[in-house]
Amino acid sequence: MKALLIKNARVISPADGIDGKADILIRDGVIAGVEKNLSAEAETIDAEGLCAVPGLVDMHVHLRDPGQTEKEDILTGCAAAAAGGVTSLLAMPNTAPVADSPETVRYILGKAENAKSRVYVAASVTKGLKSEEPTDLDALKEAGAIALSDDGRPVENTKYLREAMRRAPELGMTVAAHCEDLYLADGGKINEGAVSEQLGIKGIPAAAEDCGTAREIALAAAENVPVHICHVSTKTSVALVRDAKRRGVKVTAETAPHYFSLTEKELLARDADFRMNPPLRTSEDVIAIIEGLRDGTLDAIATDHAPHTPKDKANFVSAPNGSIGMETSFAVANTYLVKTGLLTLGELIEKMSVNPARILGIPAGTLQIGAPADIALIDPDERWTVDVNKLHGKSKNTPFKGKHLRGKVKMTVLGGEVVFADEADK
């Protein structure tokens, strides 16, 4: 494999204690050196004015493959990932068929072998996501799954969730929990509150998420085992996670860019691209999410990338939930958290690369010698406007369409190979 030399970048690698001007030498797909004034016979990239960071790790992605490839497939999803600087992602199991069998896990991993991002699989806790029968966790692990989740739905049968949480540590797997009380959600479409009342649309109370979060934390505490809480969106769930961490419960948690940048007021436009589950909440919830990121209550930023076709999203009320996010996640987080002085760029990289890699136990989030050469080159200051026609995935259902953002991924390197280069630079 050819050598690659990245020159003159500001290298930011929080896991390695690096933040400064340096060069990065890559040989045989791994990091061979990170220091000033490196020279080698290698293809050279001048990264003057750019930051080199460990490739981002998106621990919550719906690739829709198998079964719904008109929305996205593994290869197009990974192309979108690369365009967003994401070099590792965790694929959720609500595919068709559900990723509840070794065969489906192997299909996903096989198709991803030549993709532009590393794909890891979260297999389902219960067969068909129905909470009626547990899956064969040993067989799923042997097939290559690294995590367990019924995401898209909560595990309604607490007995099966407890068993998965008990078994996961010995299997080296992470349980990622979709926290929702479906009886409280009761088919609601958006956050229950002033906007749902104004629009006359059935709402989902914040308590639906909060009760689920409390259950998962209670299980983790009672069994003394880890659990990861997905897509936190409410102030009460932030408080529950914060309290649990203070008590020594083995809980980690993620939020998504739309939960710290948008509120339920976006729904007044009656645009289904702003409908996702959990739904956009209130400004008070946004403030709590940001504080949770700042004080370490929320460990990670993931996207819950959920592609749907324009036809799917045409009707505001009947459209399925979900929005895409991998191509805009860094820019949104940089715009709303770093450029506002709420987080440093290094702290953001911890949330988007270092911590997700640690929670999942995957070889990512670092630029140490010998690590996979997965790198994002970013311009933290570039201003750009989200144009859905320039996105790299199949679907265009982003809530950030037309938004003016700061910070752009200019190049993505996966295993020492350039898998994305910003067309604006060509």
How far is the C-alpha of 206 from the C-alpha of 186, rounded, in Å? 12
Q: Tell me: the pLDDT tens digits for 38-91?
A: 999 999 999 999 999 999 999 999 999 999 999 999 999 999 999 999 999 999
Sequence spans of domains, the chain? 4-52+372-425, 55-360
The pLDDT of residue 324: 98
The contacts of residue 90 (CB under 8 Å, 6+ apart) are 58, 59, 60, 61, 120, 121, 122, 146, 147, 176, 360
Closest C-alpha among 350, 332, 408, 421 to residue 6: 421
Which is it for strands 190-191 and 203-204: parallel, antiparallel or unpaired?
A: parallel
Q: What is the CATH number of domain 4-52+372-425?
A: 2.30.40.10
The pLDDT of residue 2: 86
Angle, to 10 degrees, between the axis of helix 283-295 and the axis of helix 235-246?
A: 30
The pLDDT of residue 425: 57
Task: Return the number of other C-beta atoms located less than 10 Å from residue 44's C-beta.
Answer: 15
**DSSP-assigned letter for residue 147:** E
Output phi, psi for 50, to 5 deg: -110, 160
Output phi, psi for 194, to 5 deg: -60, -40
The pLDDT of residue 423: 82
Residues with catalytic function: 304
Q: What sign does the dihedral 322-419-7-2 (CA atoms) show? A: positive
Tokens of 327: 């191509």
Angle, to 10 degrees, between the axis of helix 102-111 and the axis of helix 74-83?
A: 50
Tokens of 363: 């070889």
Q: How many CA atoms lie within 13 A of 4 on its CB side?
A: 21
Q: Name beta bridge partners: 25.
A: 5, 33
Mean pLDDT of 318-337: 98
pLDDT above 90 covers a percentage of the chain that reads: 99
* Ramachandran assignment for 350, one of left (phi > 0), alpha (psi -120 to 50 degrees), beta (any other): alpha
Q: Tell me: the pLDDT tens digits for 283-305?
A: 999 999 999 999 999 999 999 99
pTM score over 0.95? yes
Closest C-alpha among 161, 291, 149 to residue 218: 161
Q: Top-level CATH class of 55-360?
A: alpha beta
Question: End-to-end distance of the chain based on CA atoms, in angstroms?
Answer: 25
